[in-house]
Chains A and B, each alone.
Chain A
Amino acid sequence: MISAVNKIILSFVHLSGLSKMVGFFSTGKNQPLNPDADDVDQQFQLQRRNVIVIITLCYGVGYVCRLAFNVVKKPLMDAGVFTPEEVGIIGSTLLYGYALGKFTNGFLADHAHVGRFFAAGIFLSAMANMGMGFSHLAWFSALLWGINGWFQGFGAPSSVVSLASWYTNGERGRYYGIWSTAHSIGEGLTYLGIAWLIAAAPKGLGLSWQWGLWTPAAICVFAAYLLYRYLPDRPSTLGLPSIADWKGEHGQVDKKHEDESIWKTQLRVLSIPSIWILALASSSMYVTRYAINSWGNVYLQEIRGFDLFDANLFIFFNTVAGILGCLAYGFVSDKYFSARRPPANLIFGLLEIIPLFIIFYGPPNTILLGIALVVYGFGLSGILASLGGLFAIDIAPKKVAGAAMGFIGIFSYIGAGMQDYISGKLIYDSEIVFAFPANEQHFDIFFYNYDKPILFWVGASVLSIVLASLLWKIKAAD
């Protein structure tokens, strides 16, 4: 059945003249093994350095083309280009496009030359940002931003395919941790750099909102060039042995399925129960992640009474702690638990959930709140690095790492999207308006009760940790 589908797809591709393009993006053919051991060592050292630097830098930069719209939302509304509702719809299309992109591109990345594939994604994302700067039509912007979400979904699967191809099970935690810092780097670049461009003087340059989209586009075009030039295909296409052979580190080998096609292995991944449990755990943790990202700032101002600057400062510290959390998770799981993720998941899960209780149910002390937010950011980034990808790559056969990541990704972002709707509804349902009409003005002061949303956010984290703990005995595969 699968081979019949393959034949149909291949004949369509051939007839439609797409074969050249598909060929360009396909992973190369395996080359005969290089007999020169010194040259192999040199090649591995060079390429491994290139891979981690390029995927971290470019994935971080690529984030700017994903988040830029968040920064220009207010100027767009102030300029009367879009209404808040239209801005909300445009913003959400990216999330759904990204969920779909992570899934489909995860499957495609396993078949692709990841350097070219990732480069194409980030280049097309740059073009979408460029187009957004010219669009004043809500439906067109929503369409373009949704497509951008799909292009953005080229990055993560390509990065994890590279990580699976160039680093062993025993060291992947550390390298995955380094790569995961790209999220925070991207957020920092966007919320400080792009915001500085368009913020009003004296805090920023006061450029028009279009520059908040065109500048990321220019940066992403440069990142696409770096990826195309420096991110290599798999070791076997360069005449190198597999990373497990080179390092002499092998995990559990599934002899029975060793020779099956990539398509078959990808489908087999979907029948692994632990992948489903992991997908649900990741989805639940993404609920908390995006809840705090989307509503944390508002909560700090509304309920805790901080001003905008201080609330953003808290979120900034939280992001910085996230960089350390990613690095620490990889180091701790590799070094202290022999690359076993479940014990580290539990530790980082507790480091995520205990501060959550302090933030929402603890005493109203500013210093304690600050410390709790930092520890929460540290714990969340660590456990997300695992549940959102690393653990899936460990469980799945390495040749289908992209598909495993994509499967986890679609669950995670559906969780994130649903969270936004559910949280928004729960918050809106609790709204009390204190209206102060005047003859010429009308002042409305809104009060929201966050009790139910908080229960939802904390509950999602608890569920995630319980689900992740069910995978305590799961071991990495080759």
Chain B
Amino acid sequence: MTIKQVMIFISVISLLVGCGEKSENKFCTVHRDVHQQHQNNVTTVDVSYLETGRLLATVEVPITQISETELNQHDKVLRVDAEQECYFVSLNIGEQKGVFEAKYHVECGMGNRLKKVTISLLENFSQIDEIEAFIDTPASKKHFILSRQCDGPIFNI
């Protein structure tokens, strides 16, 4: 192989490698590593769904982002769809260190297959920019971040 051929080969490979790059939102790429720094100011949603059909959702929101009245309107926060109707049982709201903690309790009943849980915090409360969610179902658990700046959820935090 001549030097010219080697140079052409290297150039072609470099071009091909260069073609493969895709621009990504830098915030979303690095956020899982820096999330800890502002974790205390982020809204969290912790959902636990048990085999018995009990669904408990705990929402913690800084008081600067939402009012107690808004959290009281449970339809604006949480909707549950199952094969048969689920019943809203209770809601408890407390406040501690500038954060509202709202606990929603929904009963779907044993054998009533849960289909969809809609959490509308980002849709109804424009001051919430980011949610950290912990969801636990009988089959699996997931922990992720949702940000208005990213197209998809950020896993593996």
Residues on A facing B (Cβ under 8 Å)? 199-202, 204-207, 302-303, 305, 307, 430-441, 443, 445, 447-451
Contacts and interface: CB of A to CB of B under 8 A. Distances in A.
A211 B155 CA distance: 31
B139 A430 contact: yes
9 contacts: A200-B22, A206-B16, A207-B19, A207-B20, A432-B137, A434-B119, A436-B146, A437-B120, A443-B152
A452 B19 CA distance: 44
Contacts of B141: 305
A449 B141 CA distance: 11
B115 interface: yes
A466 to B, nearest CB: 29
B87 interface: no
B144 interface: yes
B50 interface: no
A440 B135 contact: no
A201 B135 contact: no
A447 B137 CA distance: 8
Contacts of B151: 441
A93 to B, nearest CB: 30
A206 B20 contact: yes
Q: Tell which of A202, A437, A440, A448 has the most Cβ of chain B within 10 Å.
A: A437
B126 to A, nearest CB: 8
A431 B115 CA distance: 7
B114 A437 contact: no
A200 B138 CA distance: 36
Given A447-B135, A449-B137, A451-B139, A201 B123 contact: no
Contacts of B137: 432, 447, 449
B18 interface: yes
Contacts of B144: 445
Contact of B148 (A200, A206, A435, A441): A441
A438 B122 contact: yes
Contacts of B138: 449
Contact of A437 (B21, B22, B122): B122
A307 B142 CA distance: 12
A202 B22 CA distance: 10
Interface of B: 13, 16-22, 47, 49, 114-123, 126, 131, 133, 135, 137-142, 144, 146, 148, 151-153, 155-156
A448 B142 CA distance: 11
Contact of A435 (B18, B49, B118, B139): B118
B17 to A, nearest CB: 4
B156 A307 contact: yes
Nearest to B148: A438
Listed residue (B19, B20, B121) with the most chain A CB atoms within 10 angstroms of its CB: B20
A235 B139 CA distance: 57
Contacts of A430: 139
B123 A437 contact: yes
Contacts of B47: 434
B144 to A, nearest CB: 7
B8 to A, nearest CB: 16
Contacts of A207: 16, 19-20
Contacts of B126: 439
**Central interface residue in B115, B120, B139, by most chain A CB within 10 Å:** B139
Given A447-B142, A450-B139, A432 B114 contact: yes
Contacts of A445: 133, 135, 142, 144, 153
Contacts of B155: 307
Given A205-B20, A206-B21, 8 more contacts: A200-B20, A204-B20, A205-B13, A432-B117, A436-B122, A439-B122, A441-B122, A443-B153
B135 A202 contact: no
B61 to A, nearest CB: 14
Contacts of A303: 139-140
Given A445-B142, A447-B139, A435 B20 contact: no
A448 B16 CA distance: 39
Q: 6 closest A-B pairs (Cβ-Cβ)?
A: A206-B20, A201-B20, A438-B122, A449-B139, A437-B123, A200-B20
